[in-house]
Amino acid sequence: MRVTTHLHSLVIVRDTSIDRVRRICTDLPECEVVGDQHHKLSVRGRTMGWHTVDEHGDGRIALIVKAERGENAALVSSDPARFFMPKYVAHQGYVGVYLDTGAVDWDEIRELVTDAYRLAAPKTLVKQLDA
Protein backbone atom coordinates (compact mmCIF):
# COMPACT_ATOMS: atom_id res chain seq x y z
CA MET A 1 0.00 0.00 0.00
CA ARG A 2 1.27 3.46 -0.91
CA VAL A 3 0.41 6.41 1.26
CA THR A 4 0.40 9.79 -0.41
CA THR A 5 -0.20 13.12 1.31
CA HIS A 6 -1.83 16.03 -0.52
CA LEU A 7 -1.66 19.26 1.46
CA HIS A 8 -3.53 18.47 4.67
CA SER A 9 -5.41 15.36 3.56
CA LEU A 10 -4.24 11.80 3.57
CA VAL A 11 -4.94 9.71 0.50
CA ILE A 12 -4.45 5.95 0.66
CA VAL A 13 -3.94 4.20 -2.66
CA ARG A 14 -4.20 0.43 -2.70
CA ASP A 15 -2.09 -1.14 -5.40
CA THR A 16 -3.72 -3.81 -7.46
CA SER A 17 -1.67 -6.76 -8.62
CA ILE A 18 -1.54 -5.41 -12.18
CA ASP A 19 -0.22 -2.07 -10.85
CA ARG A 20 2.60 -3.93 -9.09
CA VAL A 21 3.38 -6.04 -12.17
CA ARG A 22 3.49 -2.88 -14.31
CA ARG A 23 5.98 -1.30 -11.88
CA ILE A 24 8.19 -4.39 -12.04
CA CYS A 25 8.09 -4.22 -15.84
CA THR A 26 9.08 -0.54 -15.92
CA ASP A 27 12.51 -1.60 -14.64
CA LEU A 28 12.99 -3.86 -17.68
CA PRO A 29 14.11 -2.21 -20.95
CA GLU A 30 11.31 -2.07 -23.56
CA CYS A 31 9.00 -4.29 -21.51
CA GLU A 32 5.33 -3.65 -22.24
CA VAL A 33 2.13 -4.57 -20.42
CA VAL A 34 -0.98 -4.27 -22.59
CA GLY A 35 -4.54 -5.48 -22.37
CA ASP A 36 -7.77 -5.24 -20.44
CA GLN A 37 -8.83 -8.30 -18.49
CA HIS A 38 -5.78 -10.32 -19.50
CA HIS A 39 -2.65 -8.21 -19.75
CA LYS A 40 0.17 -9.47 -21.96
CA LEU A 41 3.76 -8.90 -20.84
CA SER A 42 6.13 -8.65 -23.78
CA VAL A 43 9.46 -7.32 -24.95
CA ARG A 44 9.93 -6.34 -28.59
CA GLY A 45 6.88 -8.34 -29.55
CA ARG A 46 8.02 -11.49 -27.74
CA THR A 47 5.57 -12.74 -25.13
CA MET A 48 7.01 -13.32 -21.68
CA GLY A 49 3.76 -13.77 -19.77
CA TRP A 50 0.24 -12.69 -18.88
CA HIS A 51 -1.54 -11.21 -15.90
CA THR A 52 -4.93 -12.93 -15.94
CA VAL A 53 -8.25 -12.36 -14.22
CA ASP A 54 -10.80 -15.18 -14.23
CA GLU A 55 -9.02 -17.08 -16.99
CA HIS A 56 -11.24 -19.86 -18.34
CA GLY A 57 -13.77 -18.98 -15.62
CA ASP A 58 -11.48 -20.05 -12.77
CA GLY A 59 -12.28 -16.95 -10.68
CA ARG A 60 -8.58 -16.39 -9.89
CA ILE A 61 -6.05 -13.60 -10.39
CA ALA A 62 -2.75 -14.99 -11.59
CA LEU A 63 0.50 -14.26 -13.33
CA ILE A 64 1.73 -16.68 -15.99
CA VAL A 65 5.39 -16.29 -16.94
CA LYS A 66 7.94 -17.93 -19.15
CA ALA A 67 10.36 -20.14 -17.21
CA GLU A 68 13.14 -22.58 -17.96
CA ARG A 69 11.76 -25.97 -18.96
CA GLY A 70 11.36 -28.10 -15.86
CA GLU A 71 11.36 -25.14 -13.49
CA ASN A 72 7.58 -24.92 -13.76
CA ALA A 73 7.12 -28.49 -12.50
CA ALA A 74 9.59 -27.88 -9.68
CA LEU A 75 7.76 -24.74 -8.55
CA VAL A 76 4.35 -26.42 -8.70
CA SER A 77 5.55 -29.42 -6.71
CA SER A 78 7.18 -27.11 -4.13
CA ASP A 79 3.94 -25.21 -3.43
CA PRO A 80 0.84 -26.29 -5.39
CA ALA A 81 -1.34 -23.83 -3.46
CA ARG A 82 0.58 -20.92 -5.04
CA PHE A 83 1.92 -22.27 -8.33
CA PHE A 84 0.13 -24.05 -11.18
CA MET A 85 0.73 -25.42 -14.66
CA PRO A 86 -1.10 -23.06 -17.02
CA LYS A 87 -3.29 -24.49 -19.75
CA TYR A 88 -1.89 -24.53 -23.28
CA VAL A 89 1.58 -23.13 -22.45
CA ALA A 90 2.96 -25.26 -19.59
CA HIS A 91 4.59 -27.56 -22.14
CA GLN A 92 6.58 -24.53 -23.34
CA GLY A 93 7.91 -23.95 -19.82
CA TYR A 94 5.42 -21.38 -18.56
CA VAL A 95 4.40 -21.41 -14.90
CA GLY A 96 1.49 -19.75 -13.17
CA VAL A 97 1.47 -18.12 -9.76
CA TYR A 98 -1.72 -17.06 -7.98
CA LEU A 99 -1.83 -13.42 -6.93
CA ASP A 100 -5.03 -13.66 -4.89
CA THR A 101 -3.71 -15.84 -2.08
CA GLY A 102 -3.24 -13.14 0.52
CA ALA A 103 0.40 -12.48 1.30
CA VAL A 104 2.09 -12.43 -2.12
CA ASP A 105 5.89 -12.51 -2.11
CA TRP A 106 6.47 -9.58 -4.48
CA ASP A 107 10.25 -10.07 -4.42
CA GLU A 108 9.65 -13.57 -5.79
CA ILE A 109 7.23 -12.17 -8.40
CA ARG A 110 9.91 -9.65 -9.44
CA GLU A 111 12.40 -12.50 -9.81
CA LEU A 112 9.97 -14.58 -11.88
CA VAL A 113 9.17 -11.64 -14.19
CA THR A 114 12.85 -10.76 -14.56
CA ASP A 115 13.72 -14.38 -15.38
CA ALA A 116 10.92 -14.46 -17.97
CA TYR A 117 12.27 -11.24 -19.46
CA ARG A 118 15.76 -12.74 -19.75
CA LEU A 119 14.31 -15.73 -21.63
CA ALA A 120 12.24 -13.62 -24.04
CA ALA A 121 14.31 -10.47 -24.60
CA PRO A 122 16.97 -10.07 -27.29
CA LYS A 123 20.50 -10.41 -25.94
CA THR A 124 21.18 -6.70 -26.47
CA LEU A 125 18.38 -5.79 -24.03
CA VAL A 126 19.49 -8.40 -21.49
CA LYS A 127 22.96 -6.80 -21.60
CA GLN A 128 21.36 -3.43 -20.78
CA LEU A 129 19.65 -5.03 -17.82
CA ASP A 130 22.94 -6.44 -16.56
CA ALA A 131 24.86 -3.17 -17.04
Residue ranges per structural domain of the chain: 17-130
Give whole-number Cα distances, 20 to 15, 16, 35, 74, in Å: 7, 7, 15, 25
In the chain, the percentage of residues whose pLDDT exceeds 70 is 89
Average pLDDT over every residue of 81-93: 95
Q: How far apart are CA 91 and CA 10, in angstroms?
A: 48
Residue 9 parent element (H or E): strand 9-13
Instruction: Tell me the pTM.
Output: 0.87
Q: What is the pLDDT of residues 9-45, one digit of tens each?
A: 444 445 699 999 999 999 999 999 999 878 999 999 9
CATH architecture for the domain at 17-130: Alpha-Beta Complex (3.90)
Q: How far apart are CA 31 and CA 40, in angstroms?
A: 10
Predicted confidence (pLDDT) at residue 73 exceeds the cutoff of 90: yes
In terms of Cβ atoms closer than 10 Å to its own Cβ (0-12, 13-18, 19+), residue 2 is exposed
